[in-house]
Amino acid sequence: MAPTENTNKSLASHEFREAMSRLGASVHLLASAGPAGRIGATVSSVCSVSDDPATLLVCLNRSAKVNQIVKDNGVFCINTLIHDHTDLSNVFAGQGDLPMEERFAKGSWGTLATGSPVLESARVSFDCHIKEVTEVGTHSVLFGEVVAARLGEFAPALIYLDRNYHSV
């Protein structure tokens, strides 16, 4: 792809998606449970914001069903996947179009402080209360205060890069 000069507006969405495909990212399962129901989704846009108070952010497409349910529940857990979770990632990304309860049946789940689903085999899980939501373009940026964490085994992480899974 040739460089694009564009001084008057943002980069076209298809060019941005192609460029972002070259930026490796950890793969996570976001899970939430509460009054709006139990739901999960595969996400890669997660990062640390602060360690005092412990805060992270996750971005969710505003048109996705998971977006409003997580907001209504007010809680979520970020479960970082390991190298052999490729099938689980695909299921929560919608492959096979399974009902949510069948997706959760693919793993072993527990809970921590918020009641959000915690994947027992995750590399690490961050249990969060939503503290702030900012709407940016097509996505909601959810800032979650981390109220509990579960450290899993040191297994190779699952990374998404160049539209493929990799183990690191």
Q: Which percentage of the chain shows pLDDT scores above 70?
A: 95
Beta bridge partners of 46: 58
Q: Which of 8-17, 105-114, 147-156 has the lowest mean pLDDT?
A: 8-17
pLDDT at position 104, please?
A: 98
Q: What is the mean pLDDT of residues 124-131?
A: 98
pLDDT at position 9, please?
A: 83
Q: What is the DSSP string of the chain?
A: ------SSSPPPHHHHHHHHTTS-EE-EEEEE-STT--EEEEE--EEEEEETTEEEEEEEETTSHHHHHHHHHTEEEEEE-BGGGHHHHHHHTTTT---HHHHHTTS-EEE-SS--EEETT-SEEEEEEEEEEEEETTEEEEEEEEEEEEE----PBEEEETTEEEE-
Write out pLDDT tens, residues 21-68: 888 899 999 999 999 999 999 999 999 999 999 999 999 999 999 999
Write out pLDDT tens, residues 109-119: 999 999 999 99
Q: Is the pLDDT of residue 2 over 80?
A: no
pLDDT at position 20, please?
A: 87
Phi first, then psi, for residue 82 (nearest 5°) are -105, 175
